[in-house]
Amino acid sequence: MSQRARGDARLHVVVTAGPTREYIDPVRYLSNESSGRMGFAIAAAATRKGHRVTLIAGPVHLETPDGVCRIDVTSAREMLSELRAAFRAADAVFMAAAVADYRPARRLAGKWRKKDAGEGRAVLELVENPDVLATVAKSKGARQVIAFALETGQGTRRALAKLRRKNADYVVLNDASALNATRTSVTILDEGGEVRRLENQTKGAVARALVGLLRRR
Ligand code: CTP
């Protein structure tokens, strides 16, 4: 039998990837080191398995995998709006994006100038962004939700707390070495704890393992 999903086994999988960018003024922004490679690898692996894939991507320099429907976004709020829309028809969501937790309280129309800041110091007021995943996963129904967590200490405990807070089925725990790297080590957890540990694997191999978590409708 073919390895590709057919009929009922063909799921609509939504993947988010990359960083978000939160503008201070027309030329400056807050962002992070995420390359988007993990999310793009998941999108590629899922489509190769025959699933229908929507990829919601922050600003990244990566080619869209064949057969994937890509929606580009910039900020966390745009990502939330596109994810809300895609979520309705989704069977599963991989939330691999590194969403900025805060954004500048105001986006200036003109450049922020040194003279506006005062005496050798500048204070940038930030406000909290919505938790994109928690917002949509509150009413997830039968959808499978996979969160990601990057932790620098007490990884398992913190990752499990995130899984509960965000109503996820799995959380993929990695450490800071995963950022912008080609190989990575991850631990997949469900609410009962460790499900699988993958050591020093390519992101493609991790992606295939993650797509393997998907259950049929
Ligand atoms: N996430 C999200 N919306 C946010 C922040 C994070 O959807 N505003 C998602 C990420 O895409 C990831 C998971 O939540 O799947 C964990 O993100 P992380 O930044 O580690 O979690 P936070 O809740 O922001 O916790 P922390 O205080 O550790 O930064």
CATH of the domain at 77: 3.40.50.10300
Q: Using one digit for the tens of pLDDT, what is the confidence trace for 39-84?
A: 999 999 999 999 999 999 999 999 999 999 999 999 999 999 999 9
- Is residue 68 one of the residues assigned to a domain? yes
CA of 162 to the centre of ligand 1 (A): 8
DSSP bridge partners of 93: 14, 145
Under a CB-based contact definition with an 8 Å cutoff, are residues 39 and 97 in contact? yes
- Is residue 129 one of the residues assigned to a domain? yes
Q: Is 32 in the active site?
A: yes
Q: Which pLDDT value is given to residue 178? A: 61
Q: Binning pLDDT at 50, 70 and 90, where does residue 1 land?
A: very low
CA of 36 to the centre of ligand 1 (A): 15
The pTM is what? 0.94
Ligand 1 nearest-atom number relative to CA 128: 8
- Is residue 26 one of the residues assigned to a domain? yes
- Residue-number span of the structural domain to which 87 is assigned: 3-211
- Is residue 125 one of the residues assigned to a domain? yes
For 32: left if phi > 0, alpha if psi spans -120 to 50, otherwise beta; the answer is: beta
Q: Using one digit for the tens of pLDDT, what is the confidence trace for 73-114?
A: 999 999 999 999 999 999 999 999 999 999 999 999 999 887
- Is residue 62 one of the residues assigned to a domain? yes
Annotated active-site residue in 32, 129, 180, 200: 32
- Is residue 216 one of the residues assigned to a domain? no
Q: How many domains, in total, are found in the chain?
A: 1
- Is residue 116 one of the residues assigned to a domain? yes
- Is residue 217 one of the residues assigned to a domain? no
DSSP label at residue 41 = H
DSSP bridge partners of 174: 150, 186
